[in-house]
């Protein structure tokens, strides 16, 4: 009988130890702030929401190994997350929820503010939203006369050229929503935000179309993996 009871006692000790580890992580996070935890410990903590019991450290480290960074994990598709052993629906949802919350927080920093006066907040928002995309995405930000955001329009996915972007359609949309200015935004999945010849050409065509209709092209921003380029700041507009 004593031999039968031993595994139960060991299991109880393991659960208590796991609970103690979770409590220590929680206390370090609350007392120490953003830099109190390593990246894998941040993931451990986030995984607590989807795993009520058990050791989340090996799963957190497996996620970092698979995706390369904390940011890549949080931006990963839920289906890809669930390919990692130990990640189920609840855990994938917990990680996805953090990504959604980060985007909402960043967007709130630019909403109802003059975009040109909140430039760094805009770049932060765009970086969070686009830097880790695996496809090239083009967006047009439509602004009113006070440079407040009217519409953040997802125009297309794919290479940025006139086959994908029709300058007249971009400007016609501005007329439809009552915009007086626009900002073009797209990302480079390669991570390098340096503008290509096609980037510069389409920018000039849209700028010219806008001038004819009284719509100002403020900038064309290219988002890379860890940096961005403003074509206006480079003198290309």
CATH number of the domain to which 88 belongs: 1.10.150.20
Whether residue 85 has pLDDT greater than 70? yes
Question: Does 119 lie in the same domain as 31?
Answer: no
pLDDT above 60 (res 4): no
Q: What per-residue confidence (pLDDT) applies to 22?
A: 78
Same domain, 130 and 174: yes
| Structural domain of 51 | 2-105
Least confident piece of the model among 15-19, 112-116, 128-132, 190-194: 15-19
Phi and psi of 4, rounded to 5°?
-70, -35
User: Does 133 share its domain with 187?
Assistant: yes
Chosen domain end from 105, 133, 160: 105
Q: Same domain for 98 and 119?
A: no
In a domain, 236, yes or no: no
Q: Are residues 92 and 120 in the same domain?
A: no
- pLDDT computed for residue 14 by the predictor: 47
| Range 231-236 average pLDDT | 93
Q: Are residues 101 and 161 in the same domain?
A: no
Residue 235: inside a domain: no
Q: Which residue has the higher pLDDT, 176 or 131?
A: 176
C-alpha 86/C-alpha 81 separation (Å) is 10
| Residue 98 shares a structural domain with residue 133 | no
Same-domain check for residues 101 and 122: no
Q: Calculate the average pLDDT of the chain.
A: 85
For 147-176, give one letter per residue: b (16+ CB within 10 A) or e. Answer: bebbbbbebbeeebeeebbbbeebbebbee
Here the CATH number for the domain that contains residue 218 is: 3.40.140.10
Which is more confident, 60 or 162?
Answer: 60
pTM of the model: 0.72
Task: Please state the rounded mean pLDDT for residues 61-66.
Answer: 94
Domain count, the chain: 2
How is residue 9 written in tokens?
Answer: 């006692």
Confidence at residue 161, expressed as pLDDT on a 0 to 100 scale: 53
Interval 118-139 mean pLDDT:
89
Lowest-pLDDT choice from 116-125, 184-193, 223-232: 116-125
Shared-domain flag, residues 226 and 138: yes
Mean pLDDT of 94-98: 90
Q: Is position 237 within any domain? A: no
pLDDT at 206 over 50: yes
Same domain, yes or no: 163 and 189: yes
- Give yes or no: residues 29 and 8 share one domain: yes
Q: Are residues 101 and 120 in the same domain?
A: no
Give the end of a domain, one of 105, 136, 154: 105
Q: Which residues of 34-49 are buried (b: 16+ CB within 10 A; e: fewer)?
A: eeebeebbbbbbbbbe
């Amino acid at each position: 009988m004593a031999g039968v009871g031993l595994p139960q006692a060991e299991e109880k000790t393991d659960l208590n130890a796991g609970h103690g580890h979770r409590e220590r992580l929680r206390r370090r996070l609350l007392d120490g702030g953003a830099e109190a935890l390593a990246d894998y410990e941040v993931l451990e903590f986030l995984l607590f929401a989807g795993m009520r019991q058990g050791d989340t450290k090996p799963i957190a480290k497996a996620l970092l190994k698979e995706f390369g960074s904390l940011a890549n994990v949080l931006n990963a598709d839920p289906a890809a997350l669930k390919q990692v052993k130990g990640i189920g629906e609840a855990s994938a949802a917990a990680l996805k929820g953090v990504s959604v919350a980060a985007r909402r927080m960043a967007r709130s920093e630019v909403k109802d503010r003059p975009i040109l006066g909140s430039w760094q907040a805009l770049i932060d928002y765009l970086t969070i939203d686009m830097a880790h995309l695996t496809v090239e995405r083009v967006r047009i930000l439509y602004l009113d006369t006070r440079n407040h955001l009217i519409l953040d329009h997802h125009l297309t996915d794919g290479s940025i050229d006139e086959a994908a972007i029709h300058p007249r359609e971009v400007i016609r949309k501005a007329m439809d929503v009552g915009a007086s200015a626009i900002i073009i935004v797209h990302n480079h999945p390669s991570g390098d935000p340096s503008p290509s010849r096609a980037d510069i050409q389409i920018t000039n065509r849209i700028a010219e179309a806008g001038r004819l209709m009284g719509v100002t092209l403020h900038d064309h921003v290219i988002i890379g993996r860890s940096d961005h380029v403003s074509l206006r700041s480079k003198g290309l507009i």
